[in-house]
Amino acid sequence: MKYVDEFRQPEKAEALFKAIDNLAAPLSDKLARAVHIMEFCGGHTHAIFRFGLEQRLSKSVELIHGPGCPVCVLPMGRVDDCVALAERPEVIFTTFGDAMRVPGSQKSLLQAKADGADIRMVYSPLDALNLAKKNPDREVIFFALGFETTMPSTALTVLQAAEGNISNFSLFCNHITTVPILESLLDSPTFNIDGFVVPGHVSMVVGEKPFATIAERYKKPMVITGFEPLDILQSLHMLLVQLQSGKPCLENQYARVVQKAGNIPGLMAMQKVFELREKFDWRGLGEIDKSGVKITEEYAAFDAERKFAVPNLKVDDPHECQCGEVLKGEIKPWQCKVFGAPCTPQNPLGALMVSSEGACAAYYSFGNTKELLDKRQEARPTK
Amino acid sequence: MKDLIEEYLVGQFAGKSFAPLEDQARIDLSEIIKHDNMQGGKLAFTTDSYVIFPLFFPGGDIGRLAVAGTVNDLSVGGAKPLYLSCSLIIEEGFALDDLRKIVASMHETAREAGVAIVTGDTKVVEKGAADKLFINTAGIGLIPFGVEISAGAAKVGDYIIINGTIGDHGASIVASRQDLALETSMQSDCRPLNHLIQSMLVASSEIHCLRDATRGGVATVLNEFAEASRVGIRLYENALPIQDETRGICEILGLDPLYLANEGKIVAVVAAESAGAILDAMKQQGFDQAAIIGEVIAAESPQVTMKTIFGGEKMIDLLTGDQLPRIC
């Protein structure tokens, strides 16, 4: 397939695996541990597992799968709010598909749908707006979710709704931002990551500057990265070159998509429609300052939280979950007390087991069987 | 109601010689006994209900699906399918023109497969009580003496064979749903496979497991085989036949072709030394893209894995519910 297979050539991957190994081995010797590289985009986590890249990497490099899956880090209380909104008789609740199975404290949207709520899967917020136009006697709510990647399309939809005076459309806004979460990880004293695979699609929106600033402030190598296997391998190589040279900075591996200044019309739309929240709650990590956005006063008419009574209750994560430690790379998923039993993709207790992009679900579903089975068994009796 | 049956069903189907408009089809036992190798053979009996949206899709419709599906369910047990029943549940207000087209398509597919639809029923339900049209078909077939195909019969060293490209039906259905506005030339692979399977059985008696990879796709069938046979199955990503259009649709929506539904694909586990002869037989039947996609291996616990194009190995687990599109 054109424009895809070019980035999946096994021979080129082979050469990169070797080059990565050559660079990582001496670095790892110096550190007396593996080089820790974190990706914090669910798309990268998914690709790493889908193509089985991790097990082909040298033991000198360890990938830590950070908090990059917006579905996973959604707190249970917000899912409860979704269900409450969706169960209002006048409401058509619209959502992206992968939010359907996220468990709330009582039920998921999928269960609410089975119980009779009018919940519809859409592929774009504009589909939700069209539903609102077609159903003027119903209230259509769009479950806005995701990092900066999905914000421009939500913002533009609100602007279009305002322009067309579509008064029966609103957003339940749960957009979150990458930089504050990254800073909060980097500020944590136990955090020892040597370099970052930076989300390509987020960067496509926000541009290079936010990450360049972090790379400089925290002296950490960062590479904006595409989502094909060769993109990821090349980016790992670039990070190791930076580590070797001792000159950390931000580089852009995904230059075929990401422009330095980002998506300016998208950013302008976001600025009109969204403003930072004081703080936002992350599943597995708790409240983080200025890490989410809400709808500005000007577009308040399209804010489902203002329009309807939302329970807005905080539901604590199950106390036995160790999602936070996994997200920070302090433990591996299978070292968690509940990994595999009772926490499974069928019955997720913790955030990271929720979506296939979550680190635990990825290990559980795709992880190299033998190694993982052994490690699961090793980990279990000692806990 | 009687008019509907007479006009649209009895007129179309080969029901006349089987006691038309009695409450049951009557099949002469001599009709059954005359088939070869029936001494010690078995009767195969199956049923399935078809509820698909949209009713008409590129490469087929619910009628073709309902006949081919049941024919295939019989055939993968090694049975020669003979007789089908057909039951329609119709939502009030459903266009008679569409019904006529669907019934004609059932008739045509039955002719293609060489089976007779011998009995049927229609029910019209209130608007909202059904989604346009549901079809149930049941089928009877004969398994000749000596044919023993079972999900539990896979042996270490066997090869896994598929008769063509993976996920065509699922991809064409996804693409034809209007809410996506995707333009593709994808066609469903919906077709009866009894002739193909009969020719495979002629080519070799070493077909151990055989299933049509419908809902849940190839991955689900292989997991069923692994579980029932207590073995491991290893696929090779670079051996999987997948159309570019299917790959494209899956890339856009974050779906995996291995879990997409097929309506004209069978997965066979065969003795390694018979694989060549079976592949040849499949190709002679026009299935040019038939391929060996994996092998049965020893494993401590039943599992399906795939060697990726980069040499990594990943689990191909059972799905939790339906595949859902990913957001970014």
| pLDDT tens column, A80-113 | 999 999 999 999 999 998 888 888 889 999 999 9
Residue A98 Cα, gap to closest chain B Cα (Å): 5
Query: Is the preceding omega at residue B241 within 30 degrees of 0, hence cis?
Result: no
Distance from CA of B22 to the nearest CA of A (A): 40
- Give the one of B248, B310, B315 whose C-beta lies nearest to A366's C-beta: B315
Instruction: Tell me the pLDDT tens digit for each residue of B303-327.
Output: 999 999 998 888 898 876 667 666 5
Q: What is the pLDDT of residues B256-299, one digit of tens each?
A: 999 999 999 999 999 999 999 999 999 999 999 999 999 999 99
User: How many residues are present in chain B?
Assistant: 328
* The two structure tokens encoding residue A215: 């790379």
| Per-residue pLDDT tens digits for B48-84 | 999 998 999 999 999 999 999 999 999 999 999 999 9
| Residue A33 identity (one-letter amino acid) | R
Question: According to CATH, what is the number of the domain B2-143?
Answer: 3.30.1330.10
The whole-angstrom distance between A1's CA and the closest CA on chain B is 6
Do the bridges between strand B266-270 and strand B159-162 make them parallel or antiparallel, or are there none, so unpaired?
A: antiparallel
CATH architecture of the domain with range A1-316: 3-Layer(aba) Sandwich (3.40)
* B37 vs B117, residue with greater confidence: B117
The pLDDT of residue A375 is 46
pLDDT band at A341 (very low <50, low <70, confident <90, very high): confident
What confidence tier does A358 reach under pLDDT thresholds 50, 70, 90?
confident
pLDDT of residue B243: 96
Q: Give the residue with greater pLDDT, A38 vs B180.
A: A38
Residues 6+ apart with CB under 8 A from B31: none
Scanning A149-188 for CB atoms below 8 A from B yields 149-150
B154-189 per-position pLDDT tens digit:
999 999 999 999 999 999 988 887 667 777 888 999
CA distance B252 to chain A (A): 11
* Cβ burial A123-140 (10 Å sphere, 16+ → b, else e): bbbbbbbbbbeeeeeebb
Distance CA A213, CA A196 (A): 14
C-alpha B22: how far from chain center: 31
Q: Which DSSP state fits B301?
A: S
pLDDT-derived band at A381, boundaries 50, 70, 90: very low
Q: pLDDT by residue (tens digit) across B232-243?
A: 999 999 999 999
Q: Give the integer Cα–Cα distance in Å for A46 and B254.
A: 10
Q: What is the reported pLDDT for B241?
A: 98
CB–CB contact B328 A42 (8 Å)? yes
> How far apart, in Å, are the Cα atoms of A278 and each of A100, A169, A291, B75?
27, 25, 8, 63
DSSP state of B320: S
| Partner A contacted by B321 (CB < 8 A) | yes
Of the two residues A15 and A341, the one the predictor is more confident about is A15
The 10 Å Cβ neighbour count of residue B21 is 10
- For residues A132 and A105, the answer to whether their CB atoms sit within 8 Å is no
Instruction: Name the 3-class secondary structure at B65.
Output: helix
Q: Hey, what are A161's tokens? A: 């709704």
**pLDDT for B23:** 83
User: Would the pLDDT of A156 be above 80?
Assistant: yes
pLDDT of residue B11: 55
What global pTM score does this model have?
0.88
Phi/psi for A142 (5° steps) reads -105, 130
Q: Do B326 and A100 touch (CB under 8 A)?
A: no
Are A345 and B320 a contacting pair at CB < 8 A? Answer: yes
Domain boundaries, chain A: 1-316, 323-382
| pLDDT, average across residues A233-259 | 97
Average pLDDT over residues A296-310: 95
Please check whether residue B181 touches A, CB under 8 A: no
Interface of B with A in 8-37 (CB under 8 A): none
A290 touches chain B (CB under 8 A): no
Q: What's the fold here for domain B151-315?
A: Phosphoribosyl-aminoimidazole Synthetase; Chain A, domain 2 (3.90.650)
Which residue is listed with tokens 């004081």? A278
Residue A68 corresponds to which tokens in the numbers above?
Answer: 């990059």
Is A121 in contact with B324 (Cβ distance < 8 A)?
A: yes
Find all residues with CB under 8 Å of B84, minimum gap 6, and list them.
Answer: B67, B70, B71, B110, B115, B116, B117, B118, B137, B138, B139, B140
Name every residue whose Cβ is closer than 8 Å to that of residue B146 and which is 6 or more positions away in sequence: B37, B40, B205
B317–chain A Cβ distance below 8 A for any pair? yes
Nearest-Cα residue of chain B relative to residue A50: B314
Lowest mean pLDDT, pick from A23-32, A108-117, A349-358, B37-46: A349-358
pLDDT at B2: 57
Q: Which residue has the higher pLDDT, A126 or A371?
A: A126
Give me chain B's average pLDDT, please: 90
The pairing of strands A61-65 and B133-143 is: unpaired
Listed by start position, the domains of chain B span 2-143, 151-315
Using alpha carbons, select from B258, B252, B225 the residue that is nearest to residue B240.
Answer: B258
How many A/B residue pairs have CB atoms within 8 Å? 97
Confidence of residue A383 (pLDDT cuts 50, 70, 90): very low
